[in-house]
Amino acid sequence: MTPGAGGGGPMKDCEYSQISTHSSSSPMESPHKKKKTALRRKWEVFPGRNKFFCNGRIMMARQTGVFYLTLLLILVTSGLFFAFDCPYLSDQITPAIPAVGALLFFFVTGTLLRTSFSDPGVLPRATPDEAADLERQIGNTEDIANGSSSGGYRPPPRTKEIVINGQTVKLKYCFTCKIFRPPRASHCSLCDNCVERFDHHCPWVGNCVGKRNYRFFYMFILSLSFLTVFIFAFVITHIIHRSQKTGFLSALKDSPASVLEAVVCFFSVWSIVGLSGFHTYLISSNQTTNEDIKGSWSSKRGKENYNPYSYGNIFTNCCSALCGPLSPSLIDRRGFIQPDTPQLAAPSNGITMYGATQSQSNMCDQDQCIQSTKFVLQAAATPLLQSEPSITSEELPLPGKTTISAPCAALTLGQPTPPSSIPNLTSETGLSDMIPLKEDPESHQFLTPEEAPSPPGMLPMGSPVSHSHTMHVLSLASQDSLHEDSVRGLVKLSSV
């Protein structure tokens, strides 16, 4: 037995079930539902002129035709060498020749792909808020420099000056990226990006050469120089060794691919070796191609425009360029774009609530109707509790009292407001002119359905009483006596 249980019986365990407010059938929940859209990565909306492959893992310039030519020349030349020259050289001289050639080939291919497929050091562009803040700072600096805060429009300054190792370095403003470029950075017109420690845009590798891929570019051209010289040297060795046995023309007929290899290597070795030597000089002096072409710095320390980035030692400069730590990418091209958080609309007047279902809305409407009906019935039953006699046709209205101008046409909620357009009735106007009452006071307890006033919308056609002439109570004494018969007639009709 549970104490406090009604009737002495055991209290049943109450189980509560959680009502789900996220029903899929709710019509009022649909405006607040968050649309499930696939998250996009940053490389898909990258503003620069670049190509991306393998879901953003590979980044290249748009002009990649020359890169495919470079790759084709390396593959074809090396393939011919391994197919037509290496078998003879391996048998007649040493098997180490194809092994060394394969090692150089894989190293050249790997450094080429690493240079072409990587981020060269692209600087991210300023966000709209950052750009606005920077322009505001530029405007304030300009106003201070001009001595006025309300002058005419002037273009923002393009440079800032900083000091690096005692040398004044200018930072240029990029109107495309909306940033002041850091030292040694430049904007590539082909890729439309600001690149950190920009060296040059190389069409042979199909990418810019900058801070993050310069070491791979240098190792590529250096190893390619060794591979080109290696193939050219052993192709000539093959032809000479074979011509000593069968003659020069017979050697050319037996290995025609060797002639093609020799021609390709002869015309390419000069440019490749020369390019490797030029970049070796740049690395030893810690300069870039862009700085060397512009003549920004002098190699001599004592001059006025000495190079502030040089360590003053060739070995240190080479270690800094080739063996230093590799900086991470700043653009995060494989990161996800965070969508904006949707704002939920506020409920209107507390009726439409988030998560409400259609059945709950209907229940609320039914409860409101029930409460309104109870209020009407209570208001209508209030005059019945009073026992004042009804007014007959012989009774005249009291002097100074006003009577109604029409029978009870409608019962409205709240207190009615008498319109000013209804004139007051005189004492000569009786109730019998408006409501036909019986002569016998004793039998005047209830009105018959025919005598009861019609509710709004049910008046017979041609009736002089219109819906706009509602009952207006002007006196408490006349209200109770007049409503007694009218309300009882309505109660009788409702009971039927």
Active-site positions read: 202
C-beta neighbour count of 486 within 10 angstroms: 20
Q: Are 23 and 166 in contact (CB under 8 A)?
A: no
Angle at 106 between CA 100 and CA 111, to 5 degrees: 125
Are the beta carbons of 60 and 113 closer than 8 angstroms?
A: no
Alpha carbon 128 to its chain's center:
14
Contact in structure between 262 and 132 (CB atoms under 8 Å): no
DSSP-assigned states of every residue in 381-439: HTGGG--PPPP-SS--PPTT----SS------SS-----TTSPPP-TT--GGGTS---S
Q: Three-state DSSP class for 9?
A: coil
DSSP 429-487: --GGGTS---S-STTTTS--TTTSPPPTT-PPTT-S--TT-------HHHHHHHHHHHH
Alpha-carbon Rg for the chain in angstroms:
50
Alpha carbon of residue 396 to chain centroid = 81
Count CA atoms within 13 Å of residue 413 on its CB side: 7
Contact of 171 with 161, CB cutoff 8 Å: yes
Which tokens sit at 340? 């904006």
By three-state DSSP, how is residue 361 classified? helix
One-letter amino acid at 377 equals L
Among candidate residues 86, 428, 93, the one with its CA nearest the CA of residue 258: 86
HSE, CB side, 13 Å, CA atoms: give it for residue 198. Answer: 24
